[in-house]
Structure 1
Amino acid sequence: MPTTPVTDGWPDAPGDTALTIHVPEADPLVRTGSRAHVTVLYPFLPLSLTDAGTDAELRALFTAAPPFTCTFSEVRRWPGVVYLHPSPADPFRALTKSLRELRPEAVPYRGIFGDEGLDPHLTLASGAGTDALPSAAFERHLPLRAEIRSVRLIVTDGPGTGWRDVVDYPLRGD
């Protein structure tokens, strides 16, 4: 759980990457200006430090992980954040743990929330006015069931530019 709300957004820099799982079923509920997703690891390595070797490591890691199904049926809150909790959350945690073992220098959320980062979550809204949003606005669309079949490496060109896909890594359980 965050210890303090983040009001100025994340300190994204050009070339920052993240590994995320897109959850299209929740796109209509998200009020952040981004696609619905669960972050597996943010930030990962700067794009300038990723190469064919990094790609091969990620492909092997994700290919070994099986696809899974999760349900989002519970709206939760942190100060300034409304999010959905995935059930089960352990497959997301396992992916993050594997990535942290592979690349220990990639500290979740730059260490703002400790070395372990945050529990798996799908942010619906954040920032000013979020605490006043009624949970019922989201709950009436729940539960959402999602088939988790891949992890995406995404990159930003800096603050205000959004994020774009770089590569999609399938989960296969090989």
Structure 2
Amino acid sequence: MPTRRTSQDDEDNGGWPDVPGDTALTIHVPEADALVRTPSRAHITVLYPFLPLERITPDTERELRALFASTPPLPLTFAEVRRWPGVLYLPPTPDDPLRTLTKAIRSRWPEAVPYRGIFGDEGLDPHLTLASGAGTDGIPETEFTAALPLHAHVESVKLIATEGAGTGWRDLRTYPLGLPGY
């Protein structure tokens, strides 16, 4: 069971509430790795947090494999840079397949509320974070626009986990999209 968080914990982590055993479902976008100015690789979060690590069972794994196998690979384009306060990001086009994927996961595991409900029940729009945190609002968008449009062909979703704040994330599983005959 996740530990109870305090406001001091959130301050120590820059406000992000990662707890030991958190998992997430993400899409790595290696085509954008060179653009990212965060400690993590270029990715789109499908669902964070997913289930606590201790709740990932063989049945969970089978259900995830089946769900992702029934989802065709996704061609995505990143053509513009956008901002939220303290965040510079690329919105993927189209984003409907990503929203559909998140909704399918949430339908099966409704207790997995995106971003712990910080941004409402639906979470954030699909995005690839380029930079976040202090100083981000001063980074000109033009530093990234020469590399756009960027095209990616997404063929898998990763289950990742953390040991807690500041420890980073590690890959646990990779689930292929559109696996014929699954």
- TM-score, with structure 2 as normaliser: 0.90
- Structure with greater Cα Rg: 2
Give 1:148's aligned residue: 154
Give 2:54's aligned residue: 48
Name the amino acid aligned to 1:143.
P
Whether contact under 8 Å (1:152, 1:169) holds in the other structure is yes
Give 1:87's aligned residue: 93
Whether contact under 8 Å (1:68, 1:149) holds in the other structure is yes
Deviations 1:52-77 (A, max 9, x none): 01001100110000002010011000
Give 2:103's aligned residue: 97
Q: How many residues align?
A: 169
Return 5+ residue gaps in structure 2 as ranges: 1-9
Whether contact under 8 Å (1:71, 1:143) holds in the other structure is yes
Q: Please state whether the residue corresponding to 1:155 is helix, strand or coil.
A: strand
Give 2:172's aligned residue: 166
Consecutive aligned runs of 4 or more in structure 1 exceeding 6 Å deviation: none
Give 2:3's aligned residue: none
Residue 78 (structure 1) shift: 0.2
Whether contact under 8 Å (1:70, 1:148) holds in the other structure is yes
- TM-score, with structure 1 as normaliser: 0.94
Give 1:17's aligned residue: 23
Q: Please state whether the residue corresponding to 1:74 is helix, strand or coil.
A: coil
Counterpart pick for 2:136 among 115, 126, 130: 130
Within 2, Cα distance between the matches of 1:157 and 1:21? 20
Deviations 1:122-159 (A, max 9, x none): 00000000000000111111111000100000001111
Residue 173 (structure 1) shift: 6.1
Name the amino acid aligned to 1:38.
I
Within 1, Cα distance between the matches of 2:82 and 2:145? 10
Return 5+ residue gaps in structure 1 as ranges: 1-5
Name the amino acid aligned to 1:101.
S
Within 2, Cα distance between the matches of 1:96 and 1:85? 16
Residue 9 (structure 1) shift: 3.7
Name the amino acid aligned to 1:49.
R
Which stretch of the first structure deviates more once superposed, 6-15 or 30-39? 6-15
Q: Please state whether the residue corresponding to 2:54 is helix, strand or coil.
A: helix
Whether contact under 8 Å (1:152, 1:165) holds in the other structure is yes
Question: What does 1:103-114 align with in structure 2 at a 5 Å threshold?
Answer: 103-114=109-120
Give 1:77's aligned residue: 83
Deviations 1:1-25 (A, max 9, x none): xxxxx98241101110000000000
Whether contact under 8 Å (1:67, 1:173) holds in the other structure is no
